């Protein structure tokens, strides 16, 4: 086979391999070559196409080498200047040649001029449609790409995949404002590549044109279809039914835990716990996201779910993204559960990355034997060597902090995790699942544990409806009683002194203070030195106060020791990089200072802020911002920080974060190869999204083949999406 040309290679690199890929490679903008402007009418600054004859052509050497071509069209004349040119250009623009020239008219001292205009021989009729300009790369000339797209468009088969009853709400108006049949995909694409010159260009630019709408509707439908398919496939899998054992005389763990809790559950906690318990009692794997603001009390809900699982005689795994988070998040929960489990001869196993070999081996044994009913740790919990006896529930805390790729891997591993040890015969756990007791699956269907994900970063509604459509969501929308709202203040870092005074006052009143230094992404070393310097500075400014330092590079034992000091109240001020971002629970802390707040994401700031206001004392969060050399904070930066001061509603903050950062950043999907929406924009395509959500189940039910075809068309080359 002949080697590919650089242009062909570039096509492959851009992911433009199939005809459909080329057909979906839409123009960035258009050039209007459909009209000729007489030179007489061409005004300075106009971008025009003229048709004129060359009357003179010469290479001038001063002030620098340039080709100067003079053209006339009978209504006026114009000079074309080229500072770089080839002999072939001179040939095309020889005296007497008739040319079509496109460029911006300048009215110089010497009359009209165009600098480096586009030109070609005046041949054939003018095009009837606008000329597309495609996004491309250096190795792929625009003209080559145009031809490739045009021939793909001519070849590509685009049979209608949307059944007549399921057309998107995209109207088409004729000249008399009467509704016409909607655009189909083929018409829409043909139009978008070669629109007629009478189109309002603004509607192409802002994607409001009906042809664009049709395209976006199709894309959203494909996304919904694929997620719904995934959801339905999961519904065919088996999972253990987790229902309480009916053993006389013993009190279930679940009731025991409720009895030892030092507080009553909030209404929201009771509601979501019931939702989860209902899922767990079904013989299909749960796939649920539990979202609730920082401090809303998700851990107890997880603990209750774990007891349901253990009461049914199965193992439960709890995971957090880092070791320190795992410890902080689950410390209380384990404090509650460990004694209860011990009374039944069971235990809690820890699995983290940096464990000693011997300890790890012992843990693995407990897990394999089933002596450990509860397994806690980082994603080390689901590594290959780990063999569960009978894992039935996996809980993932702070799931958004796992990368998307990590999350996918995790789910795959889980599928194998439980397959390793479904109970059989005598080994069947008390009250465990009985494959005969319902469900449409056969005994050979793969077994998967239930999955509960928890997140304090609420997913804005539009994202939940699109990217997470295959997920069930439970929301804790109520904070435990007795919390004092945190007051947030914006202060320029030039007024740091006042903030230090405030810290001194808080400590004098017996309270404790967090000082958060920003993570400097480019340089961990800089990050560290910054935190260290702040630590020294504050220690000097606050004589008699114990100021501690916590940063990500410290050995974990040292971290633990520092955290202990702070928790015990002996340490007044804790300087830290963002390691405390989630999980620290010190009710006596009443002030948090966040340095360079402008460098943090809103959701991140919100989570940090959630670390204070956990006790009865009035609490505050100071967002110190740096104005840099300009002495002013940029407008966007300011409005972002203002939003933080204005609202304490995590959902509202997540929504604004989404607005500012877009879904790619939000989902961390850029690194994942996940199919991001390419044409639709969730911020303004809510109506189309709603249509797609309603249409997807109908289409899967009534037109499964068309649905399959539609998914294939849109997501077949999904990995190529991001590169385009
Ligand atoms: P998050 O949702 O951020 O994970 P946690 O589960 O860490 O929140 O709970 C935050 C704090 O609130 C913990 O100290 C927890 O013990 C406490 N808590 C949880 N539920 C309640 C409740 N119903 N009443 C009082 N305090 C509660
Ligand atoms: Mg938590």
pLDDT for residue 110 is more than 60: yes
Task: Determine, yes or no, domain membership for 502.
Answer: yes
Mutation choice for ligand 1 from 480, 481, 586, 588, CB with most ligand atoms inside 8 A: 480
* Contact partners, residue 272, CB within 8 Å, separation at least 6: 290, 292, 301, 474, 475, 476
Closest ligand 1 atom to residue 302 Cα is 6
pLDDT band, residue 528 (cuts 50/70/90)? low
328-367 confidence digits (pLDDT tens): 778 888 889 999 999 989 999 998 887 889 999 999 999 9
Asked if residue 325 belongs to a domain, the reply is: no
3-state helix, strand, coil split of the chain in percent (to 5) is 40, 20, 40
Q: CB-side exposure of 310: number of CA atoms within 13 Å?
A: 32
Residue 177 is predicted with a pLDDT of 47
The most confident of 417-431, 434-448, 494-508, 515-529, by mean pLDDT: 494-508
Average pLDDT over residues 253-271: 94
Please give the DSSP secondary-structure letter assigned to residue 664. Answer: H
Span 297-304, average pLDDT? 94
pLDDT attached to residue 431: 38
Catalogue the long-range contacts made by 539-546 (C-beta closer than 8 Å, 24 or more residues apart): 541/500, 542/500, 542/503, 542/504, 542/507, 542/572, 542/573, 545/504, 545/507, 545/572, 545/573, 546/570, 546/571, 546/572, 546/573
Instruction: Out of 647, 673, 698, pick the residue that ends a domain.
Output: 647
CA 301 to ligand 1: nearest atom: 6
Nearest residue (CA) to ligand 1, atom 23:
265
Q: Which one of 111, 126, 141 terminates a domain?
A: 126
Q: Which two tokens stand for residue 176?
A: 């008399």
| CATH number of the domain where residue 555 is located | 3.40.50.300
312 pLDDT above the threshold of 50: yes
Q: What confidence category does residue 503 fall into, taking pLDDT thresholds of 50, 70 and 90? A: very high
Q: What is the pLDDT of residue 672?
A: 35
**Banded model confidence at residue 675, pLDDT cuts 50, 70, 90:** very low
Nearest atom (ligand 1) to Cα of 587: 14
Return phi, psi of residue 623, to 5°: -95, 105
The alpha-helical segments, DSSP class H, found in 194-292 are 201-205, 210-235, 253-260, 267-280
Q: What percent of the chain has pLDDT over 70?
A: 84
- List, for residues 82-99, the tens digit of each pLDDT value: 999 999 999 999 999 999
Give the residue carrying structure tokens 């030092």. Answer: 262
Q: What is the pLDDT, as a whole number, of residue 633? A: 67
Of 151 and 443, the structure prediction assigns the larger pLDDT to 151
476 in a structural domain: no
Instruction: Tell me which ligand sits closest to the C-alpha of residue 258.
Output: 1
Give the pLDDT band (50/70/90) at residue 13: confident
Q: Looking at residue 674, what is its pLDDT?
A: 42
Nearest residue by C-alpha to atom 16 in ligand 1: 297
Decide which of 668 and 480 is more confident: 480
Q: Is residue 30 part of a domain?
A: no
Given a cut of 80, whether residue 430 has pLDDT beyond it is no
The mean pLDDT value for 285-297 works out to 89
> For residue 696, what are the CA distances in angstroms to 163, 219, 466, 704, 710?
12, 12, 12, 10, 11
Pocket test for ligand 1, best of 291, 294, 297, 331 (most atoms within 8 A of CB): 297
Least Cα distance to 585 among 568, 603, 573, 567 occurs for 567
Cα 301 to ligand 1 centroid, rounded to whole Å: 9
What is the rounded distance in angstroms from the CA atom of residue 422 to the CA atom of residue 39?
83
Query: Which of 125-139, 635-649, 652-666, 692-706 is predicted with the least confidence, judged by mean pLDDT?
Result: 652-666
Q: How far is the CA of 509 from the centre of ligand 1 (A)?
A: 25
- Structure token digits, residue 416: 């194998």
Which ligand minimizes its atom distance to the CA of 296? 1
pLDDT at 130 over 50: yes
Q: Does 189 map to a domain?
A: no
Query: What is the average pLDDT value for the chain, to the nearest integer?
Result: 83
| Cβ neighbours around 249 below 10 Å, total | 4
Residue from 300, 302, 399 whose mutation best tests the ligand 1 pocket (most atoms within 8 A of CB): 300
Count, residues in the chain:
724
Residue given tokens 């990355």 in the structure block: 353
Mean pLDDT of 22-30: 91
The backbone torsions φ and ψ at residue 456, rounded to the nearest 5 degrees and listed phi first, read: -95, -5
| Phi and psi, residue 333, nearest 5° | -55, -40
523 within domain boundaries: yes
Among 647, 669, 698, which residue terminates a domain?
647
Q: Cα–Cα distance between 567 and 585 in angstroms, integer? A: 8
Q: Which residue has the tokens 């929960």?
A: 333
Residue nearest to atom 26 of ligand 1 (CA): 480
pLDDT in tens, 438-478: 333 445 566 788 999 998 877 777 777 777 777 888 999 88
Give the residue numbers spanning the domain of 105.
Answer: 35-126
End-to-end CA distance of the chain: 26
In a domain, 54, yes or no: yes
Over 50: is that where the pLDDT of 648 sits? yes
Count of structural domains within the chain: 2
685 pLDDT band, cuts 50/70/90, is confident
Give the pLDDT score at 723. Answer: 24
Tell me the pLDDT band of 585, cut-offs 50, 70 and 90.
confident
User: Is 584 a member of any domain?
Assistant: yes
- Please check the confidence at residue 273 and state whether its pLDDT lies above 80: yes
- Kindly list the protein residues whose Cβ atom lies closer than 6 A to any atom of ligand 1: 263, 265-266, 269, 292, 294-300, 332, 456, 480, 585
Domain containing residue 58: CATH number: 2.40.50.140
CA distance 60 to 405: 60
């Amino acid at each position: 086979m002949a080697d590919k040309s650089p242009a062909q290679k570039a096509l492959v690199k851009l992911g433009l391999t199939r005809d459909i890929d080329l057909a979906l490679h839409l123009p960035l903008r258009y050039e209007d070559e459909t009209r000729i402007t007489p030179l007489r009418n061409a005004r300075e600054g106009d971008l025009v196409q003229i048709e004129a004859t060359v009357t003179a052509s010469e290479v001038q050497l001063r002030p620098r080498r340039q080709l100067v071509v003079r053209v006339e069209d009978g209504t006026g004349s114009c000079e074309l200047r080229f500072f770089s040119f080839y002999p072939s250009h001179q040939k095309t623009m020889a005296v007497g040649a008739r040319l079509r020239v496109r460029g911006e008219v300048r009215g110089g001292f010497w009359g009209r001029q165009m600098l480096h205009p586009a030109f070609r021989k005046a041949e054939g009729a003018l095009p009837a449609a606008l000329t597309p300009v495609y996004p491309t790369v250096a190795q792929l000339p625009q003209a080559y790409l145009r031809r490739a797209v045009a021939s793909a468009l001519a070849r590509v088969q685009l049979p209608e995949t949307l059944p007549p009853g399921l057309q998107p709400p995209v109207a088409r108006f004729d000249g008399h404002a009467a509704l016409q049949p909607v655009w189909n995909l083929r018409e829409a694409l043909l139009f978008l590549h070669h629109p007629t010159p009478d189109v309002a260009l603004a509607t192409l630019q802002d994607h409001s044109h009906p042809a664009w709408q049709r395209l976006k509707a199709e894309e959203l439908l494909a996304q919904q279809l694929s997620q719904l398919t995934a959801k339905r496939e999961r519904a065919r899998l088996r999972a253990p039914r987790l229902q309480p054992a009916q053993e006389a005389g013993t009190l279930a763990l679940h009731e025991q835990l409720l009895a030892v809790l030092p507080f009553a559950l909030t209404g929201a906690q009771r509601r979501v716990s019931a939702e989860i318990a209902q899922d767990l009692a079904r013989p299909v794997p749960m796939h649920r996201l539990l979202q609730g603001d920082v401090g809303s009390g998700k851990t107890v809900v997880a603990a209750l779910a774990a007891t349901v699982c253990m009461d049914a005689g199965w193992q439960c795994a709890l995971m957090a993204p880092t070791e320190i988070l795992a410890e902080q998040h689950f410390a209380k929960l384990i404090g509650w559960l460990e004694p209860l489990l011990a009374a039944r001869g069971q235990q809690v196993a820890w699995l983290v990355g940096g464990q000693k070999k011997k300890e790890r081996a012992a843990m693995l044994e407990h897990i394999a034997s089933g002596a450990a009913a509860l397994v806690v740790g980082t994603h080390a919990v689901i590594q290959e060597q780990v063999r569960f006896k009978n894992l039935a529930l996996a809980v993932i805390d702070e799931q958004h902090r796992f990368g998307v790729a990590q999350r996918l891997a995790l789910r795959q591993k889980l599928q194998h995790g439980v397959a390793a040890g479904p109970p059989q015969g005598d080994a069947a756990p008390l009250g465990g699942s009985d494959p005969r007791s319902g469900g449409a699956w056969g005994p050979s269907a793969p077994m998967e544990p239930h999955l509960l994900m928890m997140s304090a970063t609420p997913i804005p509604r539009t994202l939940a409806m699109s990217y997470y459509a295959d997920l069930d969501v439970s929301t804790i929308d109520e904070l435990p009683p007795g919390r004092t709202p945190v007051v947030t203040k914006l202060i320029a870092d030039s007024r740091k002194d006042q903030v230090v005074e405030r810290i001194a006052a808080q400590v004098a009143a017996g309270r404790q203070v967090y000082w958060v230094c920003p993570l400097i992404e480019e340089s961990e070393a800089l990050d560290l030195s910054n935190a260290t310097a702040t630590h020294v500075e504050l220690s000097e400014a606050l004589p008699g106060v114990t100021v501690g330092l916590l940063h990500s590079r410290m050995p974990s034992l040292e971290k633990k020791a520092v955290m202990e000091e702070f928790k015990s109240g002996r340490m007044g001020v804790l300087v830290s990089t963002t390691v405390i971002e989630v999980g620290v629970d010190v009710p006596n802390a009443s002030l948090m200072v966040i340095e360079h707040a402008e460098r943090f994401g809103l959701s991140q700031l919100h989570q940090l802020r959630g670390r204070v206001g956990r006790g009865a004392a009035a609490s505050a969060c100071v967002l110190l911002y740096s104005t840099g050399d300009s002495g002013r904070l940029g407008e966007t930066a300011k409005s972002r920080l203002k939003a933080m001061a204005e609202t304490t509603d995590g959902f509202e903050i997540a929504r604004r974060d989404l607005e500012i950062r877009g879904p790619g950043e939000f989902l961390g999907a850029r690194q994942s190869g996940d199919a991001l929406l390419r044409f639709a924009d969730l911020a303004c395509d809510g109506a189309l999204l709603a249509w797609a959500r309603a249409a997807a189940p109908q289409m899967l039910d009534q037109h499964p083949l068309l649905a399959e075809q539609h998914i294939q068309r849109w997501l077949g080359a999904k990995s190529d999406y991001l590169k385009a």
